[in-house]
Structure 1
Amino acid sequence: MKKIISACLAVCACGGVAAQDMGKLLATGGVAQVEGAGGGGITPWALISGYGTRDSWGANAHATYLKTQDYQLNSYGVAVGVADRVEVSFANQEFKGSLAPLDKLNIKQDIFGLKLKVLGDAVYEQDTWVPQVAVGVMYKKNKGVGGLGALGVTNVKQLGAKDDSGYDYYVSATKLYLEYSLLLNATLRATRANQMGLLGFGGDRNDAMRVKPEFSAAYLINRQLALGAEYRRKPHNLGVDNEKAYYDAFLAWFPSRNVSLTVAYANLGDITIFNPKQQKGVYLSLQAGF
């Protein structure tokens, strides 16, 4: 995965595409998904990050904060879009607990992503029902469990996970109806990840790759504001984690092509059997780029 990302960036750096032009429509790069890919907050879209056109490139950096009653998730990352066709991304996630017995919990993971547009164009193909389609892969590496050393737990495998690293594979279809100011997205993700990989991959209940659906809808209130909602199904692999679907309702503000701010109400469902209640809270994400 690292070699593929390096090769894509090398093409851009060596003049394989023209200088950055910021020629795409405002908001058509999406916002930074919590795993680093361009899309909504919790699910990737077929759109390519950045505002570079098919003869150019674009890039952005993001910082995301998500706080529920008992947990906090921070995510930082960068994404580069090349020729409005290829996207490479990196994100670092840090997950913390605030309620005993998990008040010292600290888990980090790195996520490397690659996305390729394979069909359609969400903006320019308004006279057809065919959506823009992209395929993607995310390599996730869990960096261990902190704060639970007193319990003898330092790795997600000790919580029942089969692996501390794994891949997600997905296909996304995005349709933008400019006439109605409406964006619709559907994603199918093949995954073994527990809570996006924060609790490892596979488990005592299941260790097979499963395909789960994800959906997004956004209404463009005006050129700078988008109101929407997302839903993401996830596998339930661990006995200690009664994993449920994620969903959110969001408002994204695009004051310019260089910056966007997203605020959302998010519901992450149950996280572990140690704090058995639905985790709900606020989601804030700042993205800057070109």
Structure 2
Amino acid sequence: MKKIIPTLLAVCACAGVGAQDMGKLLATGGVSQVEGAGGGGITPWALISGYGTRDSWGANAHYTYVGTQDYKLNTYGVTAGIQDRLELSFANQEFKGSLAPLDKLNVKQDIIGLKLKVLGDAVYEQDTWVPQVAVGLMYKKNKGIHGLEALGVTNVRQLGARDDSGYDYYVSATKIYLEYSLLLNATLRATRANQMGILGFGGDRNDDTRLKPEFSAAYLINRKLALGAEYRFKPHNLGVDDEKAYYDAFIAWFPTKNFSVTAAYANLGDITIFNPKKQKGLYLSLQAGF
């Protein structure tokens, strides 16, 4: 983490970007999605993270907690938006079990992301139906399984996954209707990831890259408060993981451009056959930026 922040700031400097102007409208930088990209809670949006305009840049750091009956997920990371066109992100995920036989489970994953705005402007082009469109990728590296050594499991391949690293590719389209205080987003993701990559990539049931849609909608109650919902379709690659879609209902508070809080009720579906129940609970994310 200490190395990533200076690296992102150095990229901004090398790009010849001027000082931060924080010129974008409040809340239009989005929040930090659970994999590090700017967007909602569980899906990326076409919006570029931060409040810097096309002659500026912005950066933020975030911490996200997801707690269900049997599992906990902690994510922290940093994101930089350059000239309201390019976004760079880094996130680390730590996934833990809390109920036997997986009560000692601990899995970590690093995610490096890149997003490029290629068309439109979600905010300022209100006279056209054309949304803002961005393309992105995420490189994910699973760092092994800990706590299950007694069962002889130390790597996701031993659960049936084909690889411990992989790429997600996506295209997102986002439109903000200021007249109706409404944000709509659709994302199409090409992925082989099992539970976002926490359980590896590909598997004994399927090893093909599949296209999976994701949707978000948010209503701006006022300038500082947004209420919304998301739905994310998932692949089902592993025999030991009855993977289902993710969905949530969230409320996001933006007291200033430097800080935001997002709280949600999240349903992550079944995660493994060892604790076969729908995993649902609290999602909480804090973001600080400049």
With the shorter chain as reference, the TM-score category is over 0.9
Question: d(CA) in 1 for partners of 2:7 and 2:41?
Answer: 27
Question: d(CA) in 1 for partners of 2:15 and 2:194?
Answer: 40
Amino acid at match of 1:171: V
Structure 1 equivalent of residue 274 of structure 2: 274
What secondary structure sits across from 1:244 in the alignment?
coil
Q: CA deviation at 1:13?
A: 1.1
What secondary structure sits across from 1:189 in the alignment?
strand
Q: Deviations over 1:94-140 (max 9, x none)?
A: 00000000000000000000000000000110000000000000000
Q: Deviations over 1:139-170 (max 9, x none)?
A: 00000000000000000000000000000000
Matched, 1:140 2:126: no
What secondary structure sits across from 2:12 in the alignment?
helix
Q: CA deviation at 1:8?
A: 7.5
Q: Deviations over 1:58-101 (max 9, x none)?
A: 00000000000000000000000000000000000000000000
% identical aligned pairs: 86
Structure 2 equivalent of residue 176 of structure 1: 176
- What residue ranges of structure 1 are gaps of 5+ in the alignment? none
**Normalization by structure 2: what TM-score?**
0.97
Structure 2 equivalent of residue 51 of structure 1: 51
Amino acid at match of 2:79: A
What secondary structure sits across from 1:221 in the alignment?
strand
Q: CA deviation at 1:230?
A: 0.2
* C-alpha contact 2:33 2:42 (8 A) present in aligned 1: yes
Matched, 1:167 2:167: yes
Matched, 1:246 2:246: yes
Matched, 1:40 2:40: yes
Q: CA deviation at 1:273?
A: 0.4
**Normalization by structure 1: what TM-score?**
0.97
Matched, 1:70 2:70: yes
Q: CA deviation at 1:188?
A: 0.1
RMSD: 1.3
Structure 1 equivalent of residue 227 of structure 2: 227
Structure 2 equivalent of residue 200 of structure 1: 200
Amino acid at match of 1:271: I
Q: 1:185/1:15 Cα in 2 relative to 1: closer, same or farther (>3 Å)?
A: closer
Question: d(CA) in 2 for partners of 1:11 and 1:190?
Answer: 27
Question: d(CA) in 2 for partners of 1:264 and 1:8?
Answer: 29
Q: CA deviation at 1:14?
A: 3.3
What secondary structure sits across from 1:161 in the alignment?
coil
Structure 1 equivalent of residue 156 of structure 2: 156
What secondary structure sits across from 2:91 in the alignment?
strand
Question: d(CA) in 1 for partners of 2:50 and 2:263?
Answer: 20
Matched, 1:265 2:265: yes
Amino acid at match of 1:59: A
- What residue ranges of structure 2 are gaps of 5+ in the alignment? none
